[in-house]
Chains A and B, each alone.
Chain A
């Protein structure tokens, strides 16, 4: 009886320990051998520079052996970076600011991507099918799709409606993944969608109208950031500085070589060749636009995403 009971306990313990025994290796910093680091990214257009930089050897020349791991969303990447599972990671700016404000120990080290500066030709777009809707204000009382709630897209939709003179609270926002949006609008499940490339191209191909975008909100919006943990920034500032240098070089290279960007997208996404050639790419500024982050921080508080205002200086310092 007692033996049997111990067996039960052992079984349960085994199950639990399987979940608990996480191995977190810190990258070894032996002189001469390159630092092995892992960066968590999302397999979307925005992260093309890091793939391109790795291919061009920009990380190797900084003595960094970079491995890229894809996660399903930036929200999963940030905690993993904070805990040291990844040394670096990519996530959208609002996620980063909210995480930092809620006590997740991370730090932004490089710009992710930015808007194109052209409100009607951005990589993002608020799209409607009904020709009667001509501006964001008309979305009051309508069903609008956002990829997630309490994040960058729905915050932007609300702000666009507000600036146009409408009541953002009267817009019915529903969550829908980017890939499902075009189909949902086509079959009239929603009245408007906010999509990014490559789905924006698909929406435009339907002849639908774009009535807003990230760029309409802020021509130089810093949409996403590369982050590291505060622990790594303190314990190995040299590695973080070298990663930032390689990242900046990758961003600048991607910005000036759009053809190579379109080519490398074929390596980690399955976006069709003709769509890759035709779609609008985001901007990849080498430096973090702090003024843009300040504006986002204001929107975060105004929309109640956090109780206190994010400390932008502390995130990017």
Chain B
């Protein structure tokens, strides 16, 4: 262990290159395992065949339409979940009594699997975007809310008391005391919520039949088109990778001052 903060190991190797290396290693593994017979190739085709099916999909307008549908549902659900999660979290978390009053209900509602809501949703809203949106918002909302609640609870008691002594207005207390401590938690919450919202968007499309990548996965699956199915699954994985890059950038930008980021910002 001769690591130094001033000369991070691997500094000469750009981050993106390392990440691509990781993905390439993973793809190689997926090529070798089916070919070596560890995974049955009939039902789990090697990566190269999945890649061919993927190229084929990219050429089709139906695929681009499905991709657009999925992205729209995902971004919309994430925006609603993050907005509502922060607002409700700060409101509940700032007052111990309200926090205590709602704790049991939150714990009750949170684990109710959004998949259990599906039959009701189809009846109420049909199989359009709204049903999938509700499921994605429902699941990702709790991710943000819980992180915000933890963040608000993590506010340094001394700082809180100080703000109290100086009789800061609620608005200012949130802005200058609660928010800086909560922000790292919020950013983690957004990153988690982005993934959860994506997973639930695809799952909703898969299980409900809302137009989008998930529905295409289901059609390929129920048609026995295995390579296309994995190609479409790979697309959802790639969206996940991109989402992480974007949320990481946002996190870095928002948390320049925090130790978790400070240690690594290039000088």
Residues of A within 8 A of B222 (CB): 43-44, 178-179, 269
Any A CB within 8 A of the CB of B191: no
Residues of A within 8 A of B84 (CB): 11, 14-15
CA distance A170 to B107 in the complex (A): 42
Residues of A within 8 A of B117 (CB): 19
Contact A76 B94 (CB under 8 A): no
Q: B150-158, B175-183, B212-220, B233-241: which lies at the A interface? A: B212-220
Given contacts A1-B95, A8-B88, contact A80 B220 (CB under 8 A): no
Contact B98 A70 (CB under 8 A): no
Contact B91 A8 (CB under 8 A): yes
Contact A71 B209 (CB under 8 A): yes
Residues of B within 8 A of A8 (CB): 88, 91-92, 98, 102
Residues of B within 8 A of A40 (CB): 127
Contact with A along B191-229 (1 / 0, CB 8 A): 000000000000000111100000100111111110010
Contact A22 B43 (CB under 8 A): no
Any A CB within 8 A of the CB of B45: no
CA distance A218 to B215 in the complex (A): 34
Count A-B contacts at CB 8 Å: 118
A-B residue pairs, 7 tightest by C-beta: A22-B124, A183-B43, A270-B223, A270-B225, A11-B88, A83-B123, A271-B223
Any A CB within 8 A of the CB of B34: no
Any B CB within 8 A of the CB of A90: no
CA distance A61 to B88 in the complex (A): 54
Option from B120, B209, B224 in Cβ contact (under 8 Å) with A70:
B209
Any A CB within 8 A of the CB of B163: no
Any B CB within 8 A of the CB of A241: no
12 A-B interface contacts by CB (under 8 A): A12-B88, A15-B84, A19-B138, A70-B209, A72-B218, A76-B118, A76-B119, A79-B119, A85-B122, A179-B222, A198-B223, A271-B225
Interface of A is mostly: helix
Contact with B along A123-153 (1 / 0, CB 8 A): 0000000000000000000000000000000
CA distance A14 to B81 in the complex (A): 12
CA distance A82 to B124 in the complex (A): 11
CA distance A247 to B228 in the complex (A): 32
Any B CB within 8 A of the CB of A202: yes
**What is the chain A residue whose CB lies nearest that of B125?**
A22
**What is the chain B residue whose CB lies nearest that of A198?**
B224
Option from A14, A76, A186, A270 in Cβ contact (under 8 Å) with B219:
A270
Residues of B within 8 A of A272 (CB): 223-225
Residues of A within 8 A of B186 (CB): none
CA distance A72 to B203 in the complex (A): 11
Contact B208 A79 (CB under 8 A): no
Option from A12, A19, A23, A38 in Cβ contact (under 8 Å) with B121:
A19
CA distance A20 to B221 in the complex (A): 32
CA distance A4 to B178 in the complex (A): 15
Q: B187 → chain A, closest Cβ, in Å?
A: 21
Any B CB within 8 A of the CB of A18: yes
Option from A4, A14, A85 in Cβ contact (under 8 Å) with B123:
A85
Any A CB within 8 A of the CB of B40: yes
Q: How large is the interface on A (under 10, 10 to 19, 20 to 34, 35 or more residues)?
A: 35 or more
Residues of A within 8 A of B207 (CB): 72
Chain B residues proximal to chain A, CB less than 8 Å: 40, 42-43, 84, 87-88, 91-92, 94-95, 98, 102, 117-128, 134, 137-138, 141, 206-209, 215, 218-225, 228
Interface of B is mostly: helix
Chain A residues proximal to chain B, CB less than 8 Å: 1, 4-5, 7-8, 11-12, 14-15, 18-20, 22-23, 38, 40, 43-44, 69-72, 75-76, 79-80, 82-83, 85-86, 177-179, 182-183, 186-187, 198-199, 202, 268-272, 275
Contact B137 A18 (CB under 8 A): yes
Given contacts A71-B122, A71-B208, A79-B123, contact A7 B223 (CB under 8 A): no
CA distance A18 to B130 in the complex (A): 9
Residues of A within 8 A of B118 (CB): 76
**What is the chain B residue whose CB lies nearest that of A265?**
B223
Residues of A within 8 A of B218 (CB): 43, 72
Residues of B within 8 A of A71 (CB): 122, 127, 208-209
**What is the chain A residue whose CB lies nearest that of B121?**
A19
Residues of B within 8 A of A86 (CB): 126
Q: B75 → chain A, closest Cβ, in Å?
A: 17
Contact B225 A19 (CB under 8 A): no
Q: A91 → chain B, closest Cβ, in Å?
A: 13
Q: B66 → chain A, closest Cβ, in Å?
A: 12
Contact A186 B40 (CB under 8 A): yes
Given contacts A79-B119, A186-B42, contact A4 B95 (CB under 8 A): yes
CA distance A103 to B265 in the complex (A): 64
CA distance A23 to B91 in the complex (A): 31
